[in-house]
Chain A
Amino acid sequence: MYPANYLYTKEHEWILIEGDTGTVGITFHAQKELGDIVYVDLPKPGAIVESGKSLGSVESVKAVSDIYSPVSGEVVAVNAILATSPEKLNQDPHGEAWLVKIRLSAPDETKQLLSAADYQSYIGAES
């Protein structure tokens, strides 16, 4: 369920680091808790984001929730699919429905993130 090569946050984002760039999404657990997602608000390419700060938001039929950036850096790509098909976030949160790609400005920050095993035991404890 939770890919072992991803890192996770306690706010339920995941990040896949490849070289100096990280692909960011929200976890299966997050989309399940949110329910049907109807809108995703994301930054524009070029935006500077900071670890732990809001990156955008997801809106479900229940609520609007902030997405917190797992790392600091510059947004280099935004997933265009989500503008027209936000439901993809419910269908494939760890794959096709990634949110943004960030060029890391402080790669050391990833040491603070959770492994798949840690995240699973964290949500086990939370739920």
Chain B
Amino acid sequence: MLAACGVESLEDLFAHLPPELCLNRPLRLPPGKSEYEILDYFRARGTENASGFASFLGAGVYRHYRPVLVDTVVSRGEFLTAYTPYQAEISQGILTAIFEFQTMICQLTGTEVANASMYDGSTAVAEAAMMAARITGRRRVLAVRTVHPEYREVLRTYAKNQGMAVEETGYEEGSGALDSADLESKLDENTAAVIVQSPNFFGIVENVNAAAEIAHRRGALLIHVFTEAVALGILEPAREADIVAGELQSFAIPPSYGGPFAGIIATKEKHVRQLPGRLVGETKDTRGNRAFCLTLSTREQHIRREKATSNICTNQALIALMATVFMTVYGREGLREVAEQNLAKARYLAARVPLRFTGPFFNEFAAVCTGWAPEVINEGLIEEKIIGGLPLGRFYPELNNCMLLAATEMNTRDEMNKMAEALTR
């Protein structure tokens, strides 16, 4: 085998790896142990992981309840093991589920067409920007600084080799909402899109329709971004937005160290030809029964090669299915109720800490740390089995005495009292 591969030893196969990343010693396991003893050993180590902690971390990934039914459905072999399940003749089940997903996303976002899902929120935003460039024939996008900082990084990565310029506009010092005067002054005839997150990174609910009006006046599109999908359960959809791009992690997708998640991209029907990714449509089979199949595939890479709308030629089927089951379990009323709970919990916590901004917020807000620095407060909280909020200085040096706190339906009054106390002590 080694000879066939043209190498002398097994190590040669790994020669391309940076040496500092290679483990040049055996694993530090107790010697002479049997398989089940090794398993016991790791189970014991596993219990040392942080569990049973309260959390106030949000900033793009939120802790929400995951209905039991979600894993029951997604663990079914028909869904779990299906790979590229797009062949209409054999995949009506998953195609139906994707069609329902698209339909519910349109209802939640107030759009006319949504695709079968994207990798995550950040890549959905980058794809939305490229989509806007194709629609308008312009090559510059403006992102408000309150769009998730990591989304803006991904956007810059995509834009770099597309010959697209990404520029940023500011937020209002007092309200934490976008600075519309700054936005207006930076818009020009080459701006393809204005990218606005709402609720924004500081949790503030933006007036997206007003921003859309400013963008439209200069012929630019408005991309509405969201990271906290639960907010869609209570906020009026921004119907003036041309493209909606967001993250569905809040819909029963486990945080899992940051992924895999599922993103969405949705738009108005007139832009459907420029929508990237898979799209499931409704049709009739040879016997006239309602059926589902991939549609408008001519936008895609396997048909159009370099002229495709995007090089995404898949979707997050299984992860998006978690969100589909979540939306089905909660329904319109349930989602509103969970959103109201989030709102109420966040109000309770916010009433007990100094707020940095005055703008209206959903379940997340920037709090001012009046005593210790945010990082120091968090270290102390860990002792009380509480994971504190995100120190904002990491992304916004001007806010280095602030912490971004998220309160969801999972937080108890007792936890919130402790959190508030730690912040102000």
- Which of A39-87 touch B at CB < 8 Å? 39, 41, 44, 57, 59, 64
Task: Indicate the size class of the contact surface on chain A.
Answer: under 10
The total of Cβ contacts below 8 Å across the A-B interface reads 10
In the bound complex, residues from chain A placing their C-beta under 8 Å from that of B303 are 64
Q: Are B137 and A64 in contact (CB under 8 A)?
A: no
Q: Are the CB atoms of A57 and B137 closer together than 8 Å?
A: no
Given contacts A64-B303, A64-B304, contact A39 B298 (CB under 8 A): yes
Other 8 A-B pairs with CB < 8 A, given A57-B307, A64-B298: A39-B273, A39-B298, A41-B273, A44-B137, A59-B298, A64-B303, A64-B304, A64-B307
Q: How far is the CB of B136 from chain A (nearest CB, A)?
A: 9
- What 1/0 flags go to B46-71 for Cβ under 8 Å of A? 00000000000000000000000000
Contacts of A57 in B (CB 8 A): 307
- A8 → B minimal CB distance (Å): 24
Task: Give every chain B residue within 8 A of A41 (Cβ-Cβ).
Answer: 273
Instruction: Provide the residues of chain B in CB contact with A39, threshold 8 Å.
Output: 273, 298
Which residue of chain B has its CB nearest to the CB of A47?
B137
What is the minimal beta-carbon distance from B103 to any residue of chain A, in angstroms? 23
Q: Complex: how many Å from CA A56 to CA B303? A: 16
- Write the B187-214 contact mask toward A (1 if CB under 8 angstroms, else 0): 0000000000000000000000000000
| Residues of B near any A CB (own CB < 8 A) | 137, 273, 298, 303-304, 307
CA distance A57 to B305 in the complex (A): 13
A-chain residues with CB within 8 Å of residue B298 when the two chains form the complex? 39, 59, 64
The residue on B at minimum CB distance from A83 is B270
Measured CB to CB, the nearest residue on chain A to B304 is: A64
Q: Which residues from chain B contact A44 at a C-beta distance below 8 Å?
A: 137
Q: In the complex, which residues of chain B have a beta carbon less than 8 angstroms from the beta carbon of A64?
A: 298, 303-304, 307
Nearest-neighbour CB distance to chain A for B154, whole angstroms, equals: 28
CB distance from A74 to the nearest CB of B (A): 14
**Chain A residues whose CB sits within 8 angstroms of the CB of B307 once the complex forms:** 57, 64
Could you list 7 examples of A-B contacts with CB < 8 Å? A39-B273, A39-B298, A41-B273, A44-B137, A57-B307, A64-B303, A64-B304
C-alpha gap A35/B303 in the complex (Å): 17
Distance to closest chain B CB from A65 (angstroms)? 10
* Centre residue among A41, A44, A57, A64 by max chain B CB count within 10 A: A64
Q: Give Cα A41 to B200, complex, Å.
A: 36
**B272 → chain A closest CB, angstroms:** 10
Nearest first, the 6 closest Cβ-Cβ pairs linking A and B are A64-B298, A59-B298, A44-B137, A64-B304, A64-B303, A39-B273
Q: Measured between C-beta atoms, what is the minimum distance from A84 to chain B in Å?
A: 11
Q: How far is the CA of A64 from the CA of B303 in the complex (A)?
A: 8
What is the bound-complex CA distance between A39 and B299, given in angstroms? 11
Q: Tell me, in angstroms, the Cα distance from A44 to B135 when the chains sit together.
A: 10
Write out the residue numbers on chain A whose beta carbons fall within 8 Å of the beta carbon of B273.
39, 41
Closest residue of chain A to B308 (Cβ to Cβ) is A64
Q: What is the minimal beta-carbon distance from B295 to any residue of chain A, in angstroms?
A: 11
Minimum Cβ distance to chain B for residue A29 (Å): 22
Q: Complex Cα distance A44/B303, Å? A: 24
A106 vs B35: C-alpha distance when bound (angstroms): 79
**CA of A64 to CA of B302 in the docked complex: distance in angstroms?**
12
A39–B296 CA distance with the chains assembled, in angstroms: 10
A48 to chain B, nearest CB (A): 12
Tell me, in angstroms, the Cα distance from A44 to B307 when the chains sit together.
Answer: 17
Docked Cα-Cα span, A39 to B298, in Å, equals: 10
| Residue of B137, B298, B307 contacting most chain A CB atoms (<10 Å) | B298
Docked CA distance A69–B208 (Å) = 41
